[in-house]
């Protein structure tokens, strides 16, 4: 098989070929290392590459599979981790030179589960420093570049994860999502990004940003691949007390149930907010498609939505600053200047501000949950704009000048506050050839419904088959 073709196959397709002995894990890993070699440092997706380790693991996988011991659908499949997941013996920088020599002596729960499932780690992926920013800009390790137009941002904070998956540098990646950091680069890089319910996937061994908002999730080129990854990483973990002791279903098994009998609500507040016309058009057409596929689509209202940014910002600033307080005091001048002021600003959030925000969160959560009593899913844009050039703090749109940072997160953050599962799936392109994402969100712990709806939409379109020009 042509090595460059290997790099564009899904995990599901590769898994089938591995089982049929049509391609070997060594061939798969070598093809990806060649691809990485041809695209780096142009895209700047990786901070640390692990070629020897990956090849050794591929050879071991080949022996195991040859002996008939197949661990599961991810056996022999290459992936990347955002560079804030701990992997025993592998440097973890958090995207800042301050931690350039930090090597953890333990595995994050998800790294361990993926290794046990036979997946092969290719390297650690670039990110917005300390995961504190939605654009994918990084002074210390260099900005991440969008495979659809390398002059533009990837979105963040898991920008390296988005660009590596979109460009075929790895088959899937894991990111973290505190305000949209899986879904924003997913949408801007034209891949699927899934944030499960808060408590569904262990966060053990991951550098936190804001404990009550942080989630772990996969970025893949298909929804089916997200289901496969979720099947490996989801479930309770005694090392993370926030994980739920609830059963985990086989997410792949339920993917083909279709949209009939599902009710999809579109919050009217989504399109009252400032949104790029290209995004609005693509998302409206995608919602129309959901209707054609059998869903009952209706307009709903989430009046508290406009408070989501203030509530989430208050919580995130206080929590992130608490975690990094010592660092701010002792090495603040070594931090990326923009990240530094964001962290320091949290020092001015009082205890009563924080508790008030937690009370507002309860109100916000229950209104959202009530809405999901009326409908099964909420649909709308993932990000209000397509990828733009770096260095911009404001962008002019029809409705006025928007501050980039809060604006990028206006649709994603509500689901960090509520913890509801949410996915972005490609739903079109702008005139400039830049991807647009459709976001679907569901009830807590009903990941299967979110995935099946995204899968039904994806399979009825060709967006996921398009490849970036790199």
Interface residue list for another protein (CB under 8 A): 197-199, 211-212, 242-246, 304, 306-307, 309-311, 313-314, 325, 328-329, 332-333, 337, 340-342, 344-345, 347-349, 353, 355-363, 365, 417-420, 444-445
Q: By C-beta, is 51 or 332 nearer to another protein?
A: 332
Q: By C-beta, is 346 or 426 nearer to another protein?
A: 346
State the minimum distance, in angstroms, from the CB of residue 34 to another protein: 42
> What does DSSP say about strands 263-267 and 296-300: parallel, antiparallel, or unpaired?
parallel
| Catalytic choice (12, 157, 212, 430) | 157
State the minimum distance, in angstroms, from the CB of residue 440 to another protein: 18
Q: By C-beta, is 176 or 314 nearer to another protein?
A: 314
State the minimum distance, in angstroms, from the CB of residue 416 to another protein: 9
State the minimum distance, in angstroms, from the CB of residue 259 to another protein: 25
| Catalytic choice (10, 15, 24, 82) | 82
Secondary structure string (H, E, C) spanning the chain? CCHHHHCCCCHHHHHHHHHCCCCCHHHHHHHHHHHHHHHCCCCCCEEEECHHHHHHHHHHHHHHHHCCCCCCCCCCCEEEEECCECECCECCCCCCHHHCCCCCCCCCHHHHHHHHCCCEEEEEECCCHHHCCCCCCCCCCCCCCECCECCCCCCCCCHHHHHHHHHCCCCEEEEEECCCCCHHHHHHHCCEEEECCCCCECCCCECCCCCCCCEEEEEECCHHHHHHHHHHHECCCCCCCCCCCCCCCCCCCCHHHCCCCCEEEEEHHHHHCCCCHHHHHHHHHHHHHHHHCCCEEEEECCHHHHHHHHHHHHHHHHHHHHHHHHHHHHHHHHCCHHHHHHHHHHHHCCHHHHHHHHHHHHHHHHHHHHHHHHCCEEEEECCCCCCCCCCCCEEEECCEEEEHHHHHCCCCCHHHHHCCCEEEEEEEECCCCCEEEEEEEECCCCHHHHHHHHHHHHHCCCHHHCCCCC
State the minimum distance, in angstroms, from the CB of residue 323 to another protein: 14
Q: By C-beta, is 66 or 337 nearer to another protein?
A: 337
Q: By C-beta, is 268 or 359 nearer to another protein?
A: 359
Annotation says 45 is catalytic? no
Annotation says 82 is catalytic? yes
Q: By C-beta, is 151 or 366 nearer to another protein?
A: 366
Annotation says 460 is catalytic? no
Q: By C-beta, is 54 or 210 nearer to another protein?
A: 210
Burial (Cβ within 10 Å: 0-12, 13-18, ≥19) of residue 264: buried
| Catalytic choice (92, 181, 212, 430) | 181
CA separation for the pair 82, 160 (Å, rounded):
7
Q: Which residues are catalytic?
A: 82, 157, 181
């Amino acid at each position: 098989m042509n090595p460059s073709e290997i790099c564009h196959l899904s995990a599901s397709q590769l898994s089938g070929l591995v089982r049929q002995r049509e391609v070997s894990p060594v061939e798969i890993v070598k093809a990806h290392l060649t691809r990485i070699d041809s695209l780096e440092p142009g895209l700047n997706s990786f901070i640390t590459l692990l070629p020897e380790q990956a090849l050794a693991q591929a050879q071991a996988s080949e022996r195991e599979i040859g002996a008939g011991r197949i661990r599961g659908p991810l056996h022999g499949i290459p992936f990347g981790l955002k560079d804030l997941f701990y992997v025993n013996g592998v440097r973890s920088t958090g995207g800042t030179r301050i931690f350039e020599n930090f090597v953890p002596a333990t595995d994050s729960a998800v790294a361990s589960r993926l290794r046990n499932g036979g997946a092969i780690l290719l390297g650690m992926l670039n990110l917005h420093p300390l995961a504190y920013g939605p654009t994918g800009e990084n002074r210390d390790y260099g900005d991440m570049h969008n495979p659809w137009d390398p002059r533009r941002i990837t979105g963040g904070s898991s920008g390296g994860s988005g660009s590596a998956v979109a460009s075929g540098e790895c088959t899937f990646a894991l990111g973290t999502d505190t305000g949209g950091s899986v879904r924003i680069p997913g949408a801007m890089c034209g891949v699927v990004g899934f944030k499960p319910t808060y408590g569904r996937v262990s966060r053990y061994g991951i550098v936190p940003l804001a404990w009550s908002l942080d989630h772990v999730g996969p970025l893949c080129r298909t929804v089916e691949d997200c289901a496969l990854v979720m099947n490996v990483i989801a479930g309770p973990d005694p090392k993370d007390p926030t994980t739920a002791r609830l059963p985990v279903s086989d997410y792949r098994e339920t993917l083909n149930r279709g949209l009939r009998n599902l009710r999809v609500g579109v919050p009217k507040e989504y399109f009252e907010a400032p949104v790029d016309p290209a995004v609005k058009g693509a998302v409206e057409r995608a919602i129309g498609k959901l209707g054609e596929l059998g869903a009952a689509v209706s307009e709903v209202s989430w009046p508290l939505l406009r408070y989501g940014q203030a509530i989430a910002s208050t919580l995130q600033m206080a929590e992130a600053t608490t975690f990094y307080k010592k660092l701010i005091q002792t090495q603040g001048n070594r931090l990326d200047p923009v990240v530094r002021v964001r962290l320091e600003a949290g020092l001015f959030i009082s205890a009563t501000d924080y508790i008030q925000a937690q009370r507002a969160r309860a109100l916000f959560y229950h209104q959202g949950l009530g809405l999901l009593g009326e409908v099964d899913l909420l649909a709308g844009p993932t990000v209000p704009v397509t990828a733009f050039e770096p260095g911009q703090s404001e962008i002019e749109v029809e409705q006025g000048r928007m501050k980039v940072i809060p604006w990028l997160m206006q649709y994603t953050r509500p689901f960090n506050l509520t913890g509801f599962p949410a996915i972005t799936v490609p739903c079109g392109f702008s005139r400039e050839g830049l991807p647009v994402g459709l976001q679907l969100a569901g009830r807590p712990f009903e990941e299967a419904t979110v995935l099946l709806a995204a899968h039904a939409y994806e399979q009825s379109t060709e967006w996921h088959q398009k490849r970036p020009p790199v």
